[in-house]
Structure 1
Amino acid sequence: MGSAMRVARWLLVLPSGVAGWYLGLLIGLLIYEAGEKTCPIGYVVSGMCYAPWSHLLHLFAFAVGSGVAGALVVALPALVAPMRAFNIALTAFAIGVVAGTYMLVQTGAWLLYVSALVCGGISCWAFKNRRPNT
């Protein structure tokens, strides 16, 4: 691999982690919107769904979005990095834990925190025994 390509891949490590976070957010919002759009008309009040299951669907959407974000924030930088994938995954996981803990303190959203933490941890663990990328 050429030197310029190696530098480009290192430069993409941080943006790929940010992109993973936004992709998780987008997936959560898409699930939420799908639930809102498929709500029976009898349960729609002022444009919001108040069906008995809507609260569970919202929790599901946010938990899935957080989990996907947690996994991708760890996996994408490790996949992009030209070497030391596990070290990058571990670093991304540690940064995610710090950022997630800060958000938890601000919001009290335990479900989202645990979802991101578990999925990010699984993603990090997957790189533990992975063959090194070159």
Structure 2
Amino acid sequence: MEPRRTPEPRRWLVPLVWAGVVLLASVVDPGGGGAASGGSTASSLLASDKLLHGIGYGILAVLAARAVDSRELAAALLVVLTVALFGFGVEVVQWPLPYRAFSLADAAVNALGAVVGVAAWAGYARVLADPSS
């Protein structure tokens, strides 16, 4: 008996909802002074911000790679490119917001999260396909 596949449109529901959550979290006022705040904990906040970017976009990449359900290199690269461009787009949306700031470093971490997420999905899918390896 073949495994039951989720119908095409529903496969994209979770990645699209997660993309919406990421976008919403990226445009709301974070409070506490936003992009202009500083202080003694600035370096720890910066590290946690980059970690959140990497995790958020890594999850988005895993969900999108799962929805594509392809182990081909071209499909994996397309997912990485799409997620990275979404991350760059979110940074552009933040640019005019007074409590947010455009950041190339954030965009780079978003892209890195996309690469790690797709690589993690590819490894997991390979194990699923051949559990003996």
TM-score interval for Structure 1 and Structure 2 normalised by the shorter chain: 0.5 to 0.7
Quote the Cα distance in structure 2 between the aligned partners of 1:78 and 1:18: 12
Structure 1 unaligned spans of 5+:
27-31, 37-48
TM-score (norm 2): 0.57
Which among 107, 112, 117 is matched to residue 111 of structure 2? 117
Q: Letter of the 1:56 partner, please give it.
A: S
Task: Tell me the alpha carbon deviations over residues 46-83 of structure 1, each in whole angstroms, 9 at most, x when there is no partner.
Answer: xxx97511x223323321221112111111232355x4
Task: Call closer, same or farther: CA 1:13–1:109 in 2, change over 3 Å.
Answer: farther
Task: Tell me the alpha carbon deviations over residues 92-133 of structure 1, each in whole angstroms, 9 at most, x when there is no partner.
Answer: 322112222223344321222111111211222334554286
Aligned length: 112
Q: Letter of the 1:131 partner, please give it.
A: R
Structure 2 unaligned spans of 5+:
96-101
Alignment RMSD: 3.7
Q: Which has the higher helix share?
A: 1
Quote the Cα distance in structure 2 between the aligned partners of 1:67 and 1:23: 11
| Corresponding residue number in structure 2 for 1:6 | 5
